[in-house]
């Protein structure tokens, strides 16, 4: 999650439920999994 937020530091982001990135009229939300070492990606455009 830290690396994801560093990669998009030049974009508009929110860090409330994970890392939410706003770009090109759409948004993506990266949410960490509570049980495993992975994260889920939700994208809307």
pLDDT tens-digit readout, 4-34: 888 888 999 999 989 999 988 899 999 999 9
30: domain CATH number is 3.30.310.50
What per-residue confidence (pLDDT) applies to 20?
94
pTM to 2 decimal places: 0.75
How many structural domains is the chain composed of?
1
Query: What is the 3-state secondary structure of 1-45?
Result: CHHHHHHCCCCEEECCCCEEEEECCEEEEEEECCCCCCEEEEEEC
pLDDT score, position 9: 85
User: Could you list the residue range(s) of the whole structural domain that residue 28 is in?
Assistant: 2-44
């Amino acid at each position: 999650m830290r690396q994801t937020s560093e990669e998009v530091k030049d974009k508009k982001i929110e860090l409330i439920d994970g890392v939410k990135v706003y770009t090109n009229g759409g948004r993506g939300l990266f949410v960490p999994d509570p049980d495993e070492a992975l994260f889920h990606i939700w994208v809307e455009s």
